[in-house]
Chain A
Amino acid sequence: MGLSWGFERPFAAALLVLPLVLLLLSFQRTKPRSIWLSTARFFPDQGQKAGSLRRRSVPWSRVFAVAAMVAATLALMGPTPSPGDPGPERFVCVVDRSPSMYLRAGPEDDAVTRMAVALGALDDALKHRCQVTGRDVELIWVDGCRPGAPAGPPVALGAGCPGDWSRAPRVAQPEPAWAAFDRLGTIWVTDRVPEDPGQWAGHVASGGAAVPGVIGTTRASGGAPAALHWSGEPAEAPTAVEGGPSARVSIDPSLPAPLADFVALWAADRGVTVIDGAGGDAPVELTITQGPVGDSHSSDRVGRDGWSALVKTSTAEPTVPAEVEGVESDERGGAYRLVPWLFTEGGAAALSSGPGAIECGIVEFLTPPNDRAAFAVSIAALLDGAILPHPAVVSLSERRDAGGGGAALPEESLPLEDLDPRTLERLARLAAARAAAGLLLAAALAGALALWLRISRG
């Protein structure tokens, strides 16, 4: 990125009047003074030197003095690097995709989400900036909940954020660690103004009232599943309500029997609705799939948490532990890694799990688990950890009042994309210091030379 020079104190340019006046006076003195001398004819070669008079009319000392004054003035102005090509301003928009952003912004049931309000406020603020600066704006979208590469190349203002960001990710995300995004040209898009607004980054917050609703599941006094409901009043404690949203689990019919039977028991105990794997495309909170079976199988012993069993696994290439990359339309909200949970003696993954998904590589249990109790506790822990909460269940902290919101854009757009703010600031200071030192040195040399010439001329 090319750099051009700007000035920290451009008003100091007024001092350029001094050398300008001196220069004008010098030019004024180039008009030769006439000395009447009737014996001028006795000067030798009078005509040959007349042409050189104008060239030497401004003394060198005056030229050096003017140069010294100009250099000193430039040094006082504080030259500093600034973006050379104005072009469009670029901002990095770090979007908070935590569950609170997908709650309604107002008390009405049909109110838009806080995310929509925040994006609208961002759009309005940047359009206003365009009008003020006269420069276009480009945005780089970053999912603040999962920092990494931007969501795509810079897009023009008004193009909107990536499409699926208007819906909550299937896996609840924590609020971004804003301090990690405190950079020049960065805008935080969230619902609640961060307590530490940052030094370089700006923010756009939608605000929003508290949203009442289910904040968790529990069991009623009779042991039946119940929902914890919060009224939206900060002082009121949540209350248990029978019924409420029920999570769903989709079980592949080809799961080996002991595992399928236990999942059914677990679902009944947890109040989770079991859906046939081929039942439909509706999103569920847990999907248990059977890995590729293939034509040949091998016998392996697997075991964990105090139980073991002899199982038959497929020799086909397992999908685990390969990464399962989510696509843009993935209801789970992006890429998740299925982590091997149970290994064979040969080191292959027999069971892998991730948020809302379990993949089973066991084709058949050749022997039942040697310790059924340990097996139940172990598998129950696996299922409890993998199942996602029902979309209607949002934690109390997310449902709380987000305040009035607000917008504070950063003063500067993205200066150098590849440098962090501290490095950029050091670079600017270093360049300014070098330029100032160079100009002051030039001024000192020029002044000394002018003084020397004046002294030498007596």
Chain B
Amino acid sequence: MRFGPELLTRIGSFASRLSAAREREDVARRRSLQGEGEEFAGHRPYRPGEDLRRLDWNLLARLDRPFVRVHRAGASESWLVLIDSSASMAVGHPGKLQSAAEAAAAAMALGLRLGARIELRLALGGGTSAALHLARRSDLGRAVQELERLDATEGGGLESLLDDASVASALGTGSGRGAGRILLFGDFLDVDPRRVMALGQGRRHVHLGQVFAPIEWNPAEGLGGIGAASGGSARGTAAGALWIDPESPSVPHPASTADLPSYLLRLEAFVESWSRLARDHRMTHAVWRSDEPFEDHLPALLR
């Protein structure tokens, strides 16, 4: 994976823009990324139409100018970010892992702007994981460096991360408070939904970022244009092509365009099941293609 200067600029811009928007929403609707605490962050000039209850009357009396108290949502909050780095995340151009890492980095940049303490957990394969603790905005550079070294490997899935003891501790399954916000990025193909749903206990916020490669949405692209997946004209078999699942490469599947409609129905049902589960458990869920910018979907995921 590679995080170029342009991407870092995008991440910074996104975090700045979204944090400002959150602040306005916090002020306007009192709907913020409320977690375990809401910290006073300072004052800013009053804008017409704002709730007068947030007006700082002391400053008004002292300075004769209207200021509102600003409370930074997420401040003092603990975030846990988990990225699926299983072999299946290597699929696509750009790869799903790249897209997930970009989204995770952008989310972490936002969290740091909001004053959250972030723990980034990366699967190293073989059931082990590495943790990176971020508290200041300057820590984002270290996170990016770690993400650049991340590879899609066997055994690097969300399931293995959830099995990790240290991750369990970070989740607060024990006596500790645990993370107030958990962000998971991956394709969710190899994780038990029940384990994910179990994360949403208490007031914890869980955000599920699900990413798929373009070819997974339209496998006909990989067959050299032999029929479109949704065009209804695909028929027959693409000569000499096999679908290879990175998780089980020894069991190839013939690349039949005739099966694409059925495939798409199953894939959509799979995504819909995750969306429904997230809604039922008060989680947020967003799904996108790996070639789509994270800015299009991350705001909805982090709302």
Check A426 for interface membership: any CB of B closer than 8 A. no
When distances are taken between beta carbons in the complex, the residues of chain B under 8 Å from A52 are 254
Asked if A37 and B222 make an inter-chain contact with CB atoms under 8 angstroms apart, the answer reads: yes
When distances are taken between beta carbons in the complex, the residues of chain A under 8 Å from B240 are 29-33, 53, 57
When distances are taken between beta carbons in the complex, the residues of chain B under 8 Å from A37 are 91, 215-216, 219, 222, 243-245
* From B236, B237, B247, contact of A38 by CB (8 A): B247
Within 8 A of B (CB), among A160-185: none
Q: How far is the CA of A43 from the CA of B213 in the complex (A)?
A: 16
Q: How far is the CA of A36 from the CA of B256 in the complex (A)?
A: 14
B147-190 Cβ-contact flags toward A at 8 Å (1 or 0): 00000000000000000000000000000000000000001010
Contact A39:B212 (CB < 8 A) given known A33-B241, A33-B242, A34-B242: yes
Q: How far is the CA of A389 from the CA of B96 in the complex (A)?
A: 119
Check A88 for interface membership: any CB of B closer than 8 A. no
Check A422 for interface membership: any CB of B closer than 8 A. no
Check A35 for interface membership: any CB of B closer than 8 A. yes
A21-54 Cβ-contact flags toward B at 8 Å (1 or 0): 0000000011111111111111111110110110
Asked if A46 and B222 make an inter-chain contact with CB atoms under 8 angstroms apart, the answer reads: no
The 9 tightest CB contacts between A and B, nearest first, are A38-B88, A46-B253, A40-B243, A42-B266, A35-B222, A32-B242, A40-B245, A49-B254, A37-B243
Q: How far is the CA of A29 from the CA of B242 in the complex (A)?
A: 12
B204-248 Cβ-contact flags toward A at 8 Å (1 or 0): 000000001101100100110000000000001101111111110
Check A59 for interface membership: any CB of B closer than 8 A. yes
Q: How far is the CA of A47 from the CA of B262 in the complex (A)?
A: 16
Asked if B270 and A42 make an inter-chain contact with CB atoms under 8 angstroms apart, the answer reads: yes
Nearest chain B residue, comparing its CB with the CB of A44: B262
Asked if B91 and A36 make an inter-chain contact with CB atoms under 8 angstroms apart, the answer reads: yes
Asked if A40 and B270 make an inter-chain contact with CB atoms under 8 angstroms apart, the answer reads: no
Asked if A44 and B259 make an inter-chain contact with CB atoms under 8 angstroms apart, the answer reads: yes
When distances are taken between beta carbons in the complex, the residues of chain A under 8 Å from B3 are none
B72-91 Cβ-contact flags toward A at 8 Å (1 or 0): 00000000000000011111
- Of the four ranges (under 10, 10 to 19, 20 to 34, 35 or more), the interface on chain B belongs to 35 or more
Q: How far is the CA of A44 from the CA of B241 in the complex (A)?
A: 16
When distances are taken between beta carbons in the complex, the residues of chain A under 8 Å from B263 are 39, 42-44
Nearest chain A residue, comparing its CB with the CB of B245: A40
Give the dominant DSSP class at B's interface.
mixed
Q: How far is the CA of A39 from the CA of B216 in the complex (A)?
A: 6
Contact A53:B223 (CB < 8 A) given known A37-B216, A38-B189, A40-B244: no
When distances are taken between beta carbons in the complex, the residues of chain A under 8 Å from B41 are none
The listed residue with most B CB atoms (<10 A of its CB), out of A29, A30, A45, is A45
When distances are taken between beta carbons in the complex, the residues of chain A under 8 Å from B256 are 43, 49
Nearest chain B residue, comparing its CB with the CB of A46: B253
Q: How many whole Å from A39's CB to the nearest CB in chain B?
A: 5
The listed residue with most A CB atoms (<10 A of its CB), out of B237, B254, B266, is B254
Asked if A46 and B251 make an inter-chain contact with CB atoms under 8 angstroms apart, the answer reads: yes
When distances are taken between beta carbons in the complex, the residues of chain A under 8 Å from B219 are 35, 37
Check B267 for interface membership: any CB of A closer than 8 A. yes
Contact A46:B254 (CB < 8 A) given known A29-B239, A38-B187, A53-B237: yes
The listed residue with most A CB atoms (<10 A of its CB), out of B96, B251, B255, is B255
Check B37 for interface membership: any CB of A closer than 8 A. no
Q: How far is the CA of A42 from the CA of B245 in the complex (A)?
A: 11
B276-290 Cβ-contact flags toward A at 8 Å (1 or 0): 000000000000000
When distances are taken between beta carbons in the complex, the residues of chain A under 8 Å from B254 are 32, 46, 49-50, 52-53
When distances are taken between beta carbons in the complex, the residues of chain B under 8 Å from A33 are 240-242, 255
Check B252 for interface membership: any CB of A closer than 8 A. yes
Q: How far is the CA of A351 from the CA of B212 in the complex (A)?
A: 124
The listed residue with most B CB atoms (<10 A of its CB), out of A36, A46, A50, A59, is A36
Q: How far is the CA of A42 from the CA of B268 in the complex (A)?
A: 10
* From B189, B223, B251, contact of A35 by CB (8 A): B223
Q: How far is the CA of A37 from the CA of B244 in the complex (A)?
A: 6
Q: How many whole Å from A110's CB to the nearest CB in chain B?
A: 88
When distances are taken between beta carbons in the complex, the residues of chain B under 8 Å from A46 are 243, 251, 253-254
When distances are taken between beta carbons in the complex, the residues of chain A under 8 Å from B216 are 37-39
The listed residue with most B CB atoms (<10 A of its CB), out of A38, A39, A42, A59, is A38
